[in-house]
Structures are given as structure tokens and as C-alpha cells.
């Protein structure tokens, strides 16, 4: 695998790129392996799990994204370690952060912050510094995750998954393949009222900046304002700014094309072959989701057991296969079926990666981004 490009998301990101399919009504709330036959689609809305004592050494409490919570993966861990898993889910980094800041850090042994959130939580002293002597298999990680910029030397987190941002479209409605971001502007009359963009200032304005030949992380006011004006020319044709909630409409053909993250981009077409996910040719954002231990976590030994479990190539490959996600584990990647390894929407080529960027903090320019974003959405 080629080297990856990393970065931290801006603090203004308010929405989740991980939306467990709305049309399946399947947000997992709590998964207790004492009831492994439970249908995940029947889980109640997110509530703190009370199904096991958080101080019980035989139970691991995880706080994660809904589409990372998997009964088969948890059962595999329990069979290998004897430790049961209780999993609560959230829909955004900010929801998770707010819960930990409100004292929830003593309820979970493992959390899944994204790259930018790792940096923010380190600065807020909310994450435990990892004892590398207790971790087995760190050398299995791909090179760029050995020392990621959001967490030097992986001192407070380990990568769990990585992905891209792109476009997903319905081939039964849209007969022309969208190869780049410019497609949205070039086909605006045909797409009018049938396209959505992410409700995320840095992702969406970043996409526009990229389409204009600038960086996702531009700090030049002239470039940022040019991107805002370019986006305003597209807004009349938009159905809306939606990070999630568009899935049913796209599947049904009421929408033609949506900006999304590769989690949904790769997952939705499995049951809906008329949908195709595309990574724009000019480049896009590349992100990482991690595993970390809250500073006040209970049962830290179980947290290390979980991280070592995921670092194991067989288990990492199993997780990637079960969850349909990109693994940052080189040894696990080698165990995946050839057709999965070759899937460019899941594992982009070196050339595609070279054009990508991680979304990084932009300092004082963030105020301009936020101001222009508010103006765009209210226009």
C-alpha cells in the first residue's frame, strides 16, 4: 500500500461521516454478548449502557460509531479473551467529546475518535498515554500510521480505519459517470434539485477549493472567498446540505448524486448495485478513525486486550471484512481477498492517494470559513 496522507479536521465539524443506514433503521445502541442473538436493527436509541458493571474486569465497555459495532467481531474477541463486550454508539465526534467532558470518561475503556478529535482530546488531557510495552503488533501498521501527525508515535491512539470523501450516484438516473468535482457545476441543469453536499464547512468548502486548484486547507482569504462564491453558484441546484438522511432518496432515484464518505460509499452499493461511489480525480480528503483509551477509563487491561486483538492481522482482516472498511494494518491487508485489495474505492491507488489531503486546522482563517458558511447556508 502507498503512504497515506493525514490531517486533522477543523473544530467546526459538527456532523458525522458515519451514518449506519437510515433506511435499515439500524442504529446500534448497546450490544451485550450475553445476548449475541440480538438483532442489531432492533436496538433502541442511544442510551448509556447499564447492562454490566463498568468496574467488572470481565466486561469491556466500548463507545463507538454505529457502523463499527459488530456482534460477530465482539463474539470473536470474547472467545479469545473471555471478556464480554458492551457497546454504546454515537453519531459524531462532538457527541462523544461532550459525553467525556461531562464525566463519561469513566464509563468506557475504548473510544473511537477521529484524527482531528484525537489531537483535540490530547490537548484537553482526556486520553491515556499508551504503554507501548503492553501492545503487540505495532509493526503490523502501515508506515504512515507508525508516526501520524495527529498523534506523533501513536502515543495516545491506534488507527482502526481510514477512508475518503467522494460522490455516490444512482446509475439508473444519471447515465454519465462523474469523474471529478467539476461535474456538479458542468451538469448543474440536469442535477438541479437532485444532489446533496455534506453539511460540513471544511469538507464542502474544501471540495470547492480543490475544484478550483487550491488546497483543502487554504488560509488565503482570497482563495476561501473565491470558493464561497463558487459554491453559491451551485446552491440553487442543491436539494440541500446533508451529511446523512439522503440514502432512501438516492436509492429510490429521487436524488441523482450525493457527496458522502467512503463508509457509506462502499456500504450502500452492496445491497443497491445501481449506486456507485467515485473518488474525484483531482483529489479529496483522507481521514482516519482511531482507538483510544479515556484518561479515566475503567478496566484498562481489557482496553489493551482489545487493541492487541485488533492489531492481530487475522482479527484486523476479519474486522475489515465484516465492517467493509479500510484497514491500516499492512499484515491484515495481505490477508484480504484479492478482489478486496484491488477495490480502488476502498484502497485507492498511490496516484489517487498522492492527490489527497487530510483536513488540518487553519488557525485564524477558521473564522472566515465559518462566517462564509453561515452566509452560504442562509442565502
- Does residue 319 sit within a domain? yes
Domain co-membership, 172 together with 320? no
Report if residue 190 sits inside a domain.
yes
Q: Is the dihedral of CA 115, 119, 120, 122 positive or negative?
A: positive
Same domain for 174 and 259, yes or no, is yes
Residues 213 and 340 in one domain: no
- Distance from C-alpha of 315 to C-alpha of 309, rounded to nearest angstrom: 6
Cβ burial 87-96 (10 Å sphere, 16+ → b, else e): bbbbbbbbeb
Assess whether 129 and 244 both reside in one domain. no
Residue 6 lies in a domain: no
Residue 4 forms part of a structural domain: no
- Plot region of 299 (φ>0 → left; ψ -120 to 50 → alpha; else → beta): left
The pLDDT assigned to 2 comes to: 39
Q: Is position 95 within any domain? A: yes
C-alpha distances in angstroms, 184 versus 210, 238, 252, 257? 13, 10, 20, 9
pLDDT at 53: 59
Distance between CA atoms of residues 64 and 27, nearest Å = 11
Count: domains in the chain: 2
* Whether residue 176 sits in one domain with residue 55: no
- 328, part of any domain: yes
Is 262 in the same domain as 317?
no
The pLDDT assigned to 258 comes to 98
- Confidence at residue 220, expressed as pLDDT on a 0 to 100 scale: 98
Half-sphere exposure of 84 (CA within 13 A, CB side): 16
Displacement of CA 197 from its chain's centroid (Å): 16
What DSSP line would sit under 49-96, residue for residue?
A: --SS-TT-TTEEEEEEEGGG--HHHHHHHHHHHS-EEEEEEESSHHHH
State whether 151 and 216 are in the same domain.
no
Mean pLDDT in runs of 10 for the chain (379 residues)?
37 38 36 33 38 70 89 96 94 85 92 88 95 96 90 95 96 96 97 95 93 95 98 98 93 98 91 97 93 96 98 97 92 96 93 88 87 95
Claim to verify: residue 274 and residue 340 sit in the same structural domain = no
What pLDDT is stored for residue 54 in this prediction? 60
Residue 48 domain flag: yes
Helix (H, G, I), strand (E, B), or coil: what is residue 235? helix
Domain hosting 87: range is 22-162+289-344
Find the CATH number of the domain harbouring 277.
3.40.190.10
Name residues whose C-beta falls within 8 Å of residue 9's C-beta, 6 or more positions apart in sequence.
93, 114, 115, 116, 117, 202, 287, 359
pLDDT value at residue 373: 94
Centre a 10 Å sphere on the Cβ of residue 24 and count the other Cβ atoms it contains: 11
Amino acid at each position: 500500500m502507498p503512504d497515506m496522507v493525514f490531517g486533522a479536521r477543523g473544530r467546526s465539524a459538527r456532523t458525522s461521516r458515519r451514518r449506519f443506514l437510515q433506511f435499515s433503521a439500524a442504529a446500534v445502541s448497546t450490544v451485550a454478548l450475553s445476548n449475541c442473538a440480538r438483532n442489531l436493527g432492533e436496538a433502541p436509541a442511544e442510551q448509556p449502557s447499564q447492562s454490566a458493571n463498568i468496574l467488572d474486569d470481565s466486561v469491556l465497555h466500548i463507545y463507538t460509531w454505529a457502523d463499527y459495532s459488530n456482534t460477530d467481531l465482539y463474539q470473536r474477541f470474547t472467545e479469545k479473551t473471555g471478556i464480554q463486550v458492551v457497546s454504546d454508539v454515537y453519531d459524531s465526534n462532538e457527541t462523544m467529546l461532550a459525553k467525556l467532558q461531562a464525566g463519561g470518561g469513566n464509563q468506557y475503556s475504548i473510544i473511537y475518535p477521529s484524527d482531528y478529535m484525537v489531537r483535540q482530546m490530547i490537548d484537553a488531557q482526556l486520553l491515556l498515554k499508551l504503554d507501548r510495552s503492553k501492545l503487540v503488533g505495532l509493526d503490523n501498521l502501515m508506515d504512515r500510521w507508525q508516526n501520524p501527525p495527529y498523534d506523533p508515535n501513536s502515543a495516545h491512539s491506534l488507527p482502526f480505519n481510514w477512508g475518503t470523501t467522494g460522490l455516490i450516484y444512482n446509475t439508473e438516473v444519471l447515465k454519465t459517470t462523474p469523474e471529478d468535482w467539476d461535474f456538479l457545476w458542468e451538469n448543474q441543469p440536469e442535477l438541479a434539485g437532485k444532489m446533496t453536499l455534506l453539511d460540513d464547512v471544511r469538507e464542502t468548502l474544501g471540495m470547492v477549493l480543490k475544484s478550483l486548484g487550491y488546497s483543502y486547507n487554504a488560509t488565503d482569504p482570497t482563495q476561501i472567498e473565491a470558493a464561497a462564491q463558487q459554491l453559491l453558484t451551485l446552491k440553487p441546484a442543491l436539494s440541500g446540505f446533508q451529511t446523512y438522511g439522503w440514502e432512501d432518496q438516492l436509492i429510490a432515484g429521487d436524488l441523482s448524486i450525493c457527496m458522502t464518505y467512503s463508509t457509506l460509499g462502499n456500504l450502500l452499493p452492496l445491497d443497491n448495485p445501481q449506486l456507485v461511489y467515485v473518488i474525484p480525480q483531482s483529489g479529496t480528503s483522507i481521514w482516519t478513525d482511531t482507538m483510544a483509551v479515556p484518561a479515566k477509563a475503567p478496566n484498562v487491561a481489557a482496553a489493551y486486550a482489545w487493541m492487541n486483538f485488533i492489531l492481530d492481522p487475522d482479527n484486523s482482516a476479519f474486522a475489515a471484512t465484516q465492517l467493509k472498511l479500510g484497514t491500516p494494518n499492512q499484515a491484515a491487508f495481505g490477508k484480504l481477498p484479492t478482489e478486496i485489495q484491488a477495490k480502488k474505492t476502498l484502497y485507492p491507488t498511490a496516484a489517487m492517494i498522492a492527490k489527497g489531503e487530510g483536513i488540518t486546522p487553519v488557525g485564524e482563517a477558521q473564522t472566515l470559513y465559518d462566517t462564509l458558511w453561515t452566509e452560504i447556508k442562509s442565502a
